[in-house]
Chain A
Amino acid sequence: MGILTHKSLSAQSHSLSETDKQLKLLQEAKLTRFEENLKKSNLFPLTAIDLDVFQINVGKMCNQVCKHCHVDAGPDRKEIMTRETMQLCLDAIDKTTCSTVDLTGGAPEMNPDFRWFVEQLTAKGKKVLVRCNLTIIVANKKYNDLPEFFKKHNVEVVSSLPYFNSTKTDAQRGDGVFDKSIEALKMLNDVGYGIEGSGLTLNLVYNPSGAFLPPAQGDLEVDFKKKLKSRFDIDFNSLFAITNLPISRYLQYLVASDNYQGYMEKLVNAYNPMAASAVMCRNTISIGWDGYIFDCDFNQMLDLKVAAKGQHLSEFNIESLLNRNIIVNQHCYGCTAGAGSSCGGEVA
């Protein structure tokens, strides 16, 4: 695979691989409490309003070790969703009116039951999104046909590409990632992904490669489209600008680079009530590899389970989930800064 340059925090037994240590650090910073801002915006307690999206983390195993990864994913992570837990997901989905299933990881394609799961979900008529890191497509022969598989099931592909050059991309995602990502994007374009009129959606995700906030995604999308087309003849549909949340490896980076306090102040100062009212956790639930239920993928990584009856898929309770209060903490400022941030980019 050739991309591993670091170990996960977990494999390093780093103190910030522990969720209680991360939460303690988040609480310690002398900043306005997130709840206080929600109260001022008449949004506290933050409540669920719908359940339209199931975001399912099918495992923490990944072929990359990105510096900003809030999952602390990597080749050394062995947590992977079993087919039995996938079946529990399917059973739970049947009890809801959700339209979309968003598959994430790690590299979700590395789960041995990934393709089976996608087939089951599309058979139910659900829109399926896969958060594909691109390099997995070229990491091994057995993954080379992923573009065809995605096409067959009309899966929407959402892929991180922090910039249209290798310097910034490799600095965040590992040496050689940019070139492999371009190779994979060409393979996706070749089967129709991102090509106008094909009906196959390829969206890219921009995360800042450092301790700063993302730009307006519309402006940056124009730049990305122009540069990727002229330099590599690559097409895509939309660019999502996503703010990095101070969790796990990104939190560790902020602390190690002495940017933690400054970054948190920036997030707090950029608090936007409009973004707060539209945060993704209000219509989403996040499922962990072991079947536990969370308000979002970030709460999942901090092990903050939903405040509802039935915190595990085996006791899934749709009524309780729809009436739950969402658990918030200081990391939530990452989703409410500026134009807001969600897994689909800006929200306000």
Chain B
Amino acid sequence: MKTYYDPADLKKFGKVSEWQPELGKKFFDYYGTVFEDGALTKREKTLIALAVSHAVQCPYCIDAYTEGSMEQGYDEEQMMEAVHVASAIKGGATLVHGVQMMNKYKDLSM
């Protein structure tokens, strides 16, 4: 069945450089550097990436960072808590706009 997302495409990510090598190289160099140990460990960054993958709802990223988190020794409880962090921020981001709605409502009301 043909779908918009094909799991096999994840392995082809690097091919985006074929049509724009310079920017592609810059991106992948940057990407690799971001995930190196720094003020945060590679392990901590992997769990952040898992949460962000859910927030941006990228199926490739979810596959990659689920496996990545398992390879960093996280268990299902820790990983699901990370997803809840993403969920809370996304839910909160929706709800906090309720204040804007309230403000506008009041502006238009007698």
Contacts and interface: CB of A to CB of B under 8 A. Distances in A.
A232 interface: no
Interface string B63-107: 000010011110111000000000000000000000000000000
A214 B75 contact: no
Interface residues of B, number: 11
A212 B68 CA distance: 9
B41 interface: yes
Nearest to A227: B75
Contacts of A163: 75
Contacts of B77: 165
A214 B72 CA distance: 7
Given A215-B43, A216-B43, A223 B71 contact: no
A137 to B, nearest CB: 25
A167 B71 contact: no
Interface residues of A, number: 15
A206 B72 CA distance: 12
A210 interface: yes
Contacts of A223: 73
B76 A219 contact: no
A168 interface: yes
Nearest to A168: B75
Interface in A203-230: 206, 208, 210, 212-216, 219-220, 223
Given A219-B41, A219-B43, A214 B76 contact: no
B43 A208 contact: no
Nearest to B66: A212
Given A216-B43, A219-B41, A206 B73 contact: yes
A208 B70 contact: yes
Interface of chain A, helix or strand or loop or mixed? loop
Contacts of A212: 67, 70-71
Contacts, number: 28
Given A212-B67, A215-B43, A220 B73 contact: yes
Contacts of A165: 75, 77
Contacts of A216: 42-43
Nearest to B70: A212
Contacts of A214: 71, 73
Contact of B72 (A167, A210, A219): A219
Interface in B46-74: 67, 70-73
Interface string A112-152: 00000000000000000000000000000000000000000
A338 B85 CA distance: 30
Contacts of A167: 75-76
Contacts of A213: 71
Contacts of A210: 70
Interface of A: 163, 165, 167-168, 206, 208, 210, 212-216, 219-220, 223
Query: Closest 3 A-B residue pairs measured CB to CB?
Result: A215-B73, A220-B73, A215-B72
18 contacts: A165-B75, A165-B77, A167-B76, A168-B75, A206-B73, A208-B70, A210-B70, A212-B67, A212-B70, A213-B71, A214-B73, A215-B43, A215-B71, A215-B72, A215-B73, A216-B43, A219-B72, A223-B73
Given A215-B71, A219-B43, A219-B72, 4 more contacts: A210-B70, A215-B43, A219-B73, A220-B73
